[in-house]
A and B are shown apart, each in its own frame.
Chain A
Amino acid sequence: MQQSLFIKSVLVVDPANKKQEVMDVRIKDGLIAGCGANLKAEDGDCQIDGKNLWLTPGFVDIHTHLRDLGQSDKEDIQTGTKSAAAGGYTKVLAMANTDPPIDSAPILTLLLKKIEEQACVKVYPVATVTKGMSGEELTPMVDLARMGVQAFSDDGMPVSNLGVLRRAFEHAKLAGRTIISHAEDHDLTAGGCMHEGPQATALGLPGIPYASEAACVAREIEVVRQTGGTLHFGHISTAISVDLIAQAKKQGLKVTADTTPHHLTLSADDIKEYDTSFKMNPPLRTEADQKALVEALVNGTLDAIATDHAPHTKMEKSLPFDKAPFGVIGLETALPLTLEKLVKTKRLTPLQFISLFTDKPSTIIGISPYILKPGEQADLALIDPELSWQYDASKGMSKSCNSPFHLRNMTGKVLLTIAQGKVAYQDELNLSSRISGKLQTATK
């Protein structure tokens, strides 16, 4: 960022620093030039009135499907990272189940080149655990980690052979990386497309039972116990899984877990008749599960919120419910949805809440948590926690619009995202009354 920016009287919410206080923040040449009480703006500073706004470290999404390579009709690096920036994210983990999947050095090289050319936020590639996500032969984890892979996951096609999983944990340890588990037993899912229960029965749709997730969580915990490995469970959806994870943590096993904004805010009762924008995997469960997930975030059993942003084209999502692909987009709605659920209800303080998006997910995947202090590269989100707005999925930055929250009224919005020292997103309309001067959004 060539220009300099002065944000006056903003509530800095900085979890890694355990700091939540109103101050002025000055950013110059992409670096934090100063932060504290009663700083002076300098000539030429673009000024923002930060009153009643939050300034936080840029969010970290440890579960994003950017779709590039090979599926760029759904999303690509450019649109996906723009969508991330619009949601306050400055770091995303790009899931590996692309076409072809990220399972070898040459394919990773292709992806890294695209990221270099097109990404407006930091993208950490994920590689698959097994070649071709076949669940059989392991990928060269150490090599891939050295080239920049930050985590390993066969998301979407869980490793069902526990012998393979055991070796994967052992190799991941050698590579110094975490495995992200998509906990699902495909035989128990057996073609199901929404949560098993009266709602699925009433719609005549095959159900996905609790055990599909929970049985897989249970057996993978046992492999962690055996190997002393580390494992992160992505998108946990059921109260039973939460209990299993709580127990494993109590026993000192190195497991962590996240859940998604949609699992925290919707249940199977909310599914509009055959509306495929409510179809995702794991499915929306019951209200009791939803409550258990909130509780688990409050008591620390769940460590982070991740979006599982999963774009699909209109054509794919216009197929009948049982044939349409699983997944919903979520980068641009994660903050307002969870803010309403967790902070407006006073379950979490802003500091605890922002932690679920910043230092905690960073720690899970082994990135040092960002601390907001002079000399650091600016990597920040400026948030209006009170702004009321209506989300229109078709007007978002993502290429796809498969969101169950289309046209929902939201409270809380990201106004400005600075990623790696550059303006990656600004909401010009809602900044206009607070800003003097003009900010240039970086072009990529």
Chain B
Amino acid sequence: MPHSNQTTRVEDILSKHLDGRKCWQARRHLLDTKDLTNAEIDCAMALASEFKKFRSQHLPPMDVLSGKTIANVFYENSTRTRSSFELAAKSLGATVLNFDVGSSSVSKGETILDTARTLASMDIDCIVQRHSSSGSCHQLAQQLGDQLHFVNAGDGWNGHPTQGLLDAFTMLEVLGSLKGAKVSIVGDITHSRVARSNIWLLQKLGAEVHVAGPTTLIPAGLDKLGVKVHYELEPAIKNADFIMALRLQLERQKQGLLASIGEYKKLYRIDHKCLSLAKPNVKVMHPGPLNRGIEITSDLADDPNLSLIETQVKNGVAIRMAVFYLLLNGN
């Protein structure tokens, strides 16, 4: 048994997070960061730490999820996120089905509910879904939740909980605790599920969340949800511990939400210079994929002392392993 040590260590960690584990055992889906308890978050973080070490050793897969089948159903293209989920599932010994939406009956008008039902009939254990409609995964979980586990890999503008978790994990690796830490999210907040998942989660962890972006791209009433809203970059990044630049969808210009890309760069691009306002040990993050030179300068994105972008990607696999383990092992 090559991994008996590994499995013991995982169980060891879980035994130190009994409350969190209990919550996870009662939970069937990961739809949002909104309803995660702090015990659940701590438990997932501890487990991800262990899985990160495991991945770095280049060992054969564990067998803790052998016999489980996980389907990646991505209605929006995303090679990066899908690959990360796939690696996470395979590292735990699960079978992975990448459901090809483009060439399936979905393109003939089948509903997401029918697609999920079809997969449930094939005795799939878990669906990882990305879809352009906010709440689409919640609705499926309500309809088919007793037959399948659902992991939301992005629903419209609403949520991308594993991204939120991996970002928080990455920040925790740097600071140890996020109590009182200032995190600034910069860019198109309105259309960003990454921003939302981060906001809810970081607030639970005690961080002070600031956002900055053009008036057209900050959603109405965000200030009423405990977020400090700025329309200029400087106050947002002043004394920040972390600055997260969001990807700018270039089609926003056509929708009249941006005057020009040039103007956006002048007002909101994160570069070395603006970091002088932030805390001395500030770190810069980005959920990817990058528009180099638009929301962040290329030099900064590649600066090993300041940028956590590659660490985020690495941590993504570990967090997704933790989520799969907690949802599927023993449930």
Contacts and interface: CB of A to CB of B under 8 A. Distances in A.
A203 B135 contact: yes
B320 interface: no
Contact of A318 (B131, B139, B220): B139
A200 interface: yes
A105 B56 CA distance: 76
A197 B112 CA distance: 28
Contacts of A200: 219-221
Contact of A202 (B138, B155, B225): B225
B134 A203 contact: yes
Contacts, number: 71
A130 B136 CA distance: 36
B51 interface: no
A201 B139 contact: no
A320 B222 contact: no
B55 to A, nearest CB: 31
Nearest to B131: A320
Interface in A209-223: 209
Interface in A184-214: 196-207, 209
A204 B113 contact: no
By secondary structure, the B interface counts as mixed
B176 to A, nearest CB: 29
B130 interface: no
Interface string B100-136: 0000000000011100000000000000000101111
B83 to A, nearest CB: 24
Interface string B217-232: 0011110110000000
Interface string B138-172: 11000100000000000111110000000000000
A322 interface: yes
B193 interface: yes
Interface string A305-343: 000000000000011111100000000000000000000
A273 interface: yes
Given A197-B221, A204-B159, A204-B193, A318 B113 contact: yes
Contact of B157 (A198, A205, A320, A323): A205
Given A318-B111, A318-B113, A319-B111, A201 B133 contact: no
Nearest to A274: B135
A196 B220 CA distance: 6
Contacts of A198: 220-222, 224-225
Contacts of B224: 197-198
Given A198-B220, A318-B113, A319-B111, A204 B225 contact: no
Contacts of B90: none
Interface size range on A against B? 20 to 34
Interface in B152-202: 155-159, 193, 196
Given A318-B111, A322-B156, A201 B135 contact: no
A322 B134 contact: yes
Contacts of B225: 198, 201-202
Nearest to A322: B133
B134 A274 contact: yes
B135 A320 contact: yes
A109 B255 CA distance: 44
A321 B131 CA distance: 12
A197 B224 CA distance: 9
Between A200, A201, A273, the greatest number of chain B beta carbons within 10 A of the residue's beta carbon is seen for A201
Contacts of B157: 204-206
Contacts of B34: 202
Contacts of A209: 220
A320 B112 contact: yes
B221 A204 contact: no
A54 B67 CA distance: 66
A204 B158 contact: yes
B228 to A, nearest CB: 15
A288 to B, nearest CB: 14
A299 B45 CA distance: 58
A206 B135 CA distance: 12
Nearest to A268: B221
A192 to B, nearest CB: 10
A321 B156 CA distance: 11
A197 B139 contact: no
Contacts of A322: 133-135, 156
Contacts of B159: 204
B138 A204 contact: no
A201 B134 contact: no
Contacts of A319: 111
A27 B117 CA distance: 56
Contacts of A203: 134-135, 158
A321 B111 contact: no
Contacts of A274: 134-135, 138-139
B79 to A, nearest CB: 23
Nearest to B220: A196
A209 B196 CA distance: 21
Given A198-B220, A206-B157, 15 more contacts: A196-B221, A197-B221, A197-B224, A200-B221, A201-B220, A201-B222, A202-B196, A204-B158, A204-B159, A205-B134, A205-B135, A274-B138, A318-B111, A319-B111, A322-B134
6 contacts: A203-B135, A204-B134, A204-B135, A204-B155, A320-B136, A321-B134
Interface of A: 196-207, 209, 273-274, 318-323
